[in-house]
Structure 1
Amino acid sequence: MPKALDLTGLKIGCLKVVKRLPKRTDSMGHEWLCYCECGNQYITTTSHLNRKCGVKSCGCYVKELARKQSKKNIENATEETYLIASKKIKETMKKNNELVENTRLSSISSKKLRSDNKSGHRGVAFKDGKWVARISISGKEHYLGSFDQKEEAIVAREKGEELYFKPLIDKYKNKQN
């Protein structure tokens, strides 16, 4: 049986291989304790270290690349490039019958809540001691009222959806099929 390759002391990317760890029953190969240039300890396998496109750091290298790319993108972004990208997105949505009358059909059809929603219902928020109901369509926001009870604001929002969203959805639903 061939002797296992000893990687101790090798530097692979940002990782310095310190020692081979005892083989676990659930592991697919030998595991190695490594230290990254950033100071983190990292455990990986022989196969990951040996591959050309394998592990090169504890993850800090990829994060740094992403940060640099993001910074570069922000520096290169101009209002003009933003407007061009925005125009292309709108054209694609219009071509796919997704954007009609300046409204995204999937947004008004969806019941999904935004991650920052605290009321548990779209278009309902607690502001200045009252529950406020609003709805936006065709680039315009409509105030539906403010209420003492959240349930009242939810009912107002649901009536607003029936009044504003339903006609638009019904009008364009047939054109999509």
Structure 2
Amino acid sequence: MNHPKQHSSRLIDLTGKRFGRLVVIKKAPSSAKNGNARWLCRCDCGNQIIVDSQSLRRKSTRSCGCLRREINHQRMLNNKVFDKYQGNASSLKDGHGVFYSSIRKTKRNHTGVIGVSYDSHYHRYVARLRFHGKYVLNKTSNNLEEAIQMRLAAEQKYFKRQVQQVHFN
């Protein structure tokens, strides 16, 4: 005798439970793409959001986003460099309005070229450039030199200035 397969979908009622700053109000009408139940939650700040049950139980979602904003705000306040230049946004940009953070080589940079990194997962070089808060360049190449040339071309196009020779370590 064949019995149809039964799914053991046991819905755990999270109504009224607290997860960080979120309190579950009720089950949302639709499920997440992964099949998990979604819940309407009210954040301590007053916002309402819909959250996947797995995100709630694993504590990967603890607020509507207000917690992250508060943490970032505190980091800025405790950052001595930011404190030095607070209220003077022009000092955080070069003469062309480009933020210094986008044209400085970081400690994590292993290629020696600003805006060019190596993606070890895909085994390719990635050339990136953000301009006015948007990626205007986000391309990959098998070749480091080609990735460098893509970055330099984007700098010339968007920074509207003479790009200096790339300096290696």
Smaller-chain TM-score bracket: 0.3 to 0.5
| Structure holding more helix per residue | 1
Report the TM-score when normalising by structure 1.
Answer: 0.45
> Which has the greater radius of gyration?
1
